[in-house]
Amino acid sequence: MTRTRQAGPPGRNRFIAFEPGRYVAFEIPSGRITGVASYLVEPTGAATCRLTSTVDFHVAGPAGFAVPLLTRVFKRDDEKALARLKELLERP
């Protein structure tokens, strides 16, 4: 699978777990940034749910010093993407 990011080249992912309608996990197996990420959907009511996004990444080589900055950037990007998803899903 090819994943499009807002910045940088497309990344290659490998799915490692899948439960339809509930959970997906994937591995980012190669490149400067590697790791595992997942999305979990949990019902919270009759017509509502909670989406939990988890990312555990590692940065290779001397760029490892940038991990705190990358963590903030990824979090900011995820928050924007999730806010947009919520907006789209709640449209009448």
Question: What are 33-50's pLDDT values in tens digits?
Answer: 889 999 999 999 998 889
User: Other C-beta atoms within 10 Å of 26: how many?
Assistant: 20
Whole-number pLDDT of residue 45: 92
- pLDDT tens for residues 10-40? 567 899 999 998 999 999 888 888 899 999 9
Q: Which residue, among 20, 32, 27, has the nearest Cα to 3 in the 3D structure?
A: 27
Whole-number pLDDT of residue 33: 82
Side-chain half-sphere of 74: how many Cα atoms within 13 Å?
Answer: 14
Pairwise CA distance, residues 9 & 6, whole Å: 9
Q: Is the pTM of this model over 0.85?
A: no
Pairwise CA distance, residues 16 & 53, whole Å: 15
